[in-house]
């Protein structure tokens, strides 16, 4: 062992390849500036597809100039699950990386998957790849451009290796052994990758693994081709400066309606007053006519939507007794007379809307004049797997969140680059129907792929749909990036988060139920509130296309309406960044949302939103502190 013992993060090099070892994963494997693989890691997934957290102990880490050796142990313990594996990673001067997984179950439990996952970056969409199957046969294909519902690489046989060209004459080949492997298109969940994983989905799951069972796998990355393997990779750009360019084509995207979701409790007068300033275009309410509380829920939603001066977006969940449920609902609607922006029709017993439910809904709800659409209440994956009939929908809908498979900040930010793909695919698959995103959340609201009832969260722990980053500057920065990508994708409508509470845009006046785990301030708005308020100020206007030289470090959103124009900048990293603005006119005033003033901005949002500094940025440069949001006005 050496001085690197117990390191959790280390920059490594194998010949011409650079990468990062972090908490048992290999991340961002690059040849020069070209990303070869996004990530190689081992995962333990329980019977409901939840990832069991790892406790990683580095046993040895030796790194030379062009080679390395890492040895570590990863423990996964949660409820009845107790699994440990030892990982060994070597990299040599030829650019060959070998990663082995040797694990043992120390208890008996049900699992859906244990072992390696390899992520190819989303930027490979449309690129050629060579596939070698376990039986030795080979063929050439491409990484799909549209989001694939089934396996992106035809599953004729189990995968043995996948190779793609990283430079003329130079290919990166990833070979798998020790288990059966296949690939899925993770853009279905806005993960920015194509994932090759062990244990194909065609095999039964969950599967019991007994105490003492051993699992051994390996993944090997090799550089192959006519180009000399030891050739020097292109030089890396070490500049910390970030360039934000105004699109020369002056692309414009109309701002769609942006609404909020109904909270699980009644809103106070003070909470309503703050939410009104967001100018919500609608308030989403989920109605299940089969439940006894449907009238009470509708009554509260109509009341709060009226106080917010917004119509309702009604997500209607129909069972196999849909005819009777719709008749009951119509009677309630005649009493409450809500304003309705649109109807989202879902089935309680299906992954996506069915022809039967859509047809019945159109018969009963068409007299109310609002558009009627369907899709999936969960991810694009469910919609992609079970596509409802286009002819019965005025629009197609699905939800988005960045945390189906990974939960660290870096992985969440990577999802921003994948957001346009399912929207583009939905428009193609559904003959150009408008796309409604409802809702956008930071974590999944429920588990749509669970094989058994979820265990209740301990009373001292946050529920699985809650993320403490909801109240953070990081949450605001991610929201800015997500909303920008949605606007550029020309969506019909967006529902963002809930109105209040720990999945909302502000805290309730009663405060957090678990302040030690979710340290918010009673009645305060969250930083992402200010992002949505800045966008709402330009309702009816346009987003003007702005390009970022590195959209995973600094993102920019240029809003325009008449004679008003604002540029929103977000530092997406925990390090200071410099933005160099090219092609933008002279800004006259500036407002910063950062660590130093975040608390006052949350507690007194009205004062914060009215205070700007006069500014003259003659050089086009602006410094951004970690996760800072800046607004520049003209």
pLDDT computed for residue 6 by the predictor: 44
Average pLDDT over residues 311-329: 96
Residue 410 lies in a domain: no
- Say if residue 576's pLDDT is above 70: yes
DSSP annotation string for 287-351:
E-TTSTTHHHHHHHHHHHHHHTT--EEEEEEE-TTHHHHHHHHHHHHHHH---EEEEEEEETTSS
pLDDT computed for residue 614 by the predictor: 82
- What total number of domains does the chain contain? 3
Same domain, 564 and 512: no
Same domain, 495 and 560: no
Per cent of the chain over pLDDT 70 is 94
- Tell me the C-alpha to C-alpha distance, in Å, between residue 218 and each of 35, 118, 192, 398: 21, 11, 23, 37
- Say if residue 139's pLDDT is above 80: yes
Integer Cα distance of 603 and 21 in angstroms: 40
Q: DSSP state, 51?
A: B
Phi, psi (5° rounding) for residue 295?
Answer: -65, -45
Render pLDDT for 194-230 as a digit per residue (tens, 0 to 9).
Answer: 999 999 888 999 999 999 999 999 999 999 987 766 5
Integer Cα distance of 178 and 99 in angstroms: 12
- Say if residue 234's pLDDT is above 70: no
Task: Lay out the sheet containing 55-63: strands in order across.
Answer: 55-63, 68-78, 81-91, 97-105, 214-224, 170-177, 159-167, 128-133, 138-142
Same domain, 518 and 570: no
Render pLDDT for 466-476 as a digit per residue (tens, 0 to 9).
Answer: 999 999 999 99
Cβ proximity of 247 and 485 under 8 Å: no
Residue 473 lies in a domain: no
Residue 474 lies in a domain: no
Three-state DSSP state, 479: helix
Q: DSSP state, 500?
A: S
Integer Cα distance of 392 and 400 in angstroms: 23
Residue 478 lies in a domain: no
| CATH number of the domain residue 187 falls in | 2.70.98.10
Residue 539 lies in a domain: no
Same domain, 568 and 512: no
| CATH number of the domain residue 424 falls in | 3.20.20.80
| CATH number of the domain residue 583 falls in | 2.60.40.1180
Same domain, 502 and 386: yes
Same domain, 447 and 566: no
Render pLDDT for 339-383 as a digit per residue (tens, 0 to 9).
Answer: 999 999 999 999 999 999 999 999 999 998 999 999 999 999 999
Average pLDDT over residues 260-277: 96
Residue 382 lies in a domain: yes
Same domain, 28 and 159: yes
Same domain, 216 and 292: no
- Say if residue 76's pLDDT is above 80: yes
Q: Count CA atoms within 13 Å of residue 262 on its CB side.
A: 25
The position carrying tokens 């799909």 is 144
Residue 456 lies in a domain: no
- Say if residue 136's pLDDT is above 90: no
Domain membership of residue 550 as a residue range: 241-245+546-633
Render pLDDT for 494-548 as a digit per residue (tens, 0 to 9).
Answer: 999 999 999 999 999 999 999 999 999 999 999 999 999 999 999 999 999 888 8
Boundary (domain end) residue, out of 481, 507, 522: 522
- Say if residue 622's pLDDT is above 90: no
Same domain, 27 and 140: yes
Same domain, 372 and 293: yes
Residues 6+ apart with CB under 8 A from 86: 71, 72, 73, 74, 101, 102, 103
Cβ proximity of 570 and 481 under 8 Å: yes
Render pLDDT for 89-99 as a digit per residue (tens, 0 to 9).
Answer: 999 999 999 99
Same domain, 400 and 284: yes
Residue 13 lies in a domain: yes
In the chain, the largest separation of any two C-alpha atoms, in whole Å, equals: 77
Same domain, 276 and 385: yes
Three-state DSSP state, 496: strand
Integer Cα distance of 189 and 195 in angstroms: 12
Phi, psi (5° rounding) for residue 619?
Answer: -90, -10
């Amino acid at each position: 062992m050496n001085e690197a013992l117990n390191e959790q993060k280390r920059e490594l090099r194998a010949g011409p390849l650079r990468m990062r070892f972090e908490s048992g994963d290999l991340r961002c494997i690059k040849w020069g500036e070209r990303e070869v693989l996004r990530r190689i890691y081992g995962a333990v997934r329980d019977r409901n597809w939840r990832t069991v957290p790892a406790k990683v102990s580095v046993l040895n880490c030796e790194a030379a100039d062009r080679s390395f050796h890492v040895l570590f142990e990863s423990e996964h313990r949660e409820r009845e699950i107790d699994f440990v594996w030892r990982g060994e990673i070597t990299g040599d001067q030829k650019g060959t990386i070998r990663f082995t997984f040797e694990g043992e179950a120390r208890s008996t439990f049900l699992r859906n998957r244990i072992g390696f996952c390899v992520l190819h970056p989303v930027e490979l969409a449309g690129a050629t790849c060579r596939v070698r199957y376990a039986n030795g046969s080979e063929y050439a294909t491409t990484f799909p451009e549209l989001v694939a519902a089934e396996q992106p690489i035809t599953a004729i046989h189990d995968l043995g290796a996948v190779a793609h060209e990283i430079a003329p004459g130079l290919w990166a080949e990833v070979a798998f052994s020790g288990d059966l492997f296949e690939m899925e298109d993770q853009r279905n969940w806005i993960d920015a990758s194509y994932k090759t994983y062990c244990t194909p989905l065609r095999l039964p799951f969950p599967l019991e693994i007994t105490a003492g069972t051993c699992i051994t796998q390996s993944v090997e990355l090799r550089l192959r081709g006519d180009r000399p393997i030891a050739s020097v990779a292109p030089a890396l750009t070490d500049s910390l400066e970030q360039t934000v360019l105004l699109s020369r084509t002056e692309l414009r995207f109309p701002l769609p309606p942006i609404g909020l979701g109904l909270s699980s409790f009644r809103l106070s007068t003070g909470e309503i007053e703050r939410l009104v300033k967001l100018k919500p275009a609608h308030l989403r309410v989920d109605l299940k006519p089969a439940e006894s509380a449907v009238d009470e829920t509708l009554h509260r939603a109509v009341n709060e939507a009226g106080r917010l001066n917004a119509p309702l977006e009604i997500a209607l969940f129909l069972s196999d007794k849909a005819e009777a449920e719709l008749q009951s609902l119509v009677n309630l609607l005649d009493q409450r007379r809500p304003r309705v922006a649109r109807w989202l029709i879902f089935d309680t017993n299906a992954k996506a809307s069915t022809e039967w439910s859509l047809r019945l809904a159109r018969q009963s709800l068409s007299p109310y004049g609002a558009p009627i659409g369907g899709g999936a209440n969960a991810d694009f994956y469910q919609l992609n797997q079970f596509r409802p009939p286009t002819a019965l929908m005025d629009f197609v809908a699905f939800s988005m969140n960045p945390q189906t498979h990974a939960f660290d900040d870096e992985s969440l930010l990577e999802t921003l680059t994948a957001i346009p793909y399912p929207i583009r695919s939905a428009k193609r698959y559904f003959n150009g129907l408008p796309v409604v995103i409802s809702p956008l959340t930071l974590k999944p609201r429920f588990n749509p792929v669970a094989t058994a009832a979820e265990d209740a969260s301990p009373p001292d722990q946050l529920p699985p749909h809650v993320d403490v980053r909801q109240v953070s500057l990081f949450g605001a920065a991610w929201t800015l990036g997500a909303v920008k990508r949605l606007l550029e994708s020309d969506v019909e409508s967006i529902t963002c988060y809930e109105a209040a509470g720990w999945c909302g845009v502000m805290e309730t006046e009663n405060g957090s139920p678990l302040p030690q785990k979710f340290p918010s301030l009673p009645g305060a708005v969250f930083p992402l509130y200010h992002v949505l308020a800045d966008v709402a100020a330009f309702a009816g206007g346009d987003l003007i296309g702005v390009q970022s030289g590195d959209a995973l470090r600094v993102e920019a959103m240029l809003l325009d309406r008449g004679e008003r124009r604002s540029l929103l900048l977000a530092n997406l990293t925990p390090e200071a960044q410099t933005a160099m603005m090219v092609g933008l006119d002279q800004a006259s005033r500036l407002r910063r949302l950062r660590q130093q003033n975040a608390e006052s901005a949350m507690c007194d949002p009205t004062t914060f939103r009215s205070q700007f500094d006069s500014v003259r940025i003659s050089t086009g440069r602006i410094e951004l502190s970690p996760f800072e949001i800046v607004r520049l006005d003209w």
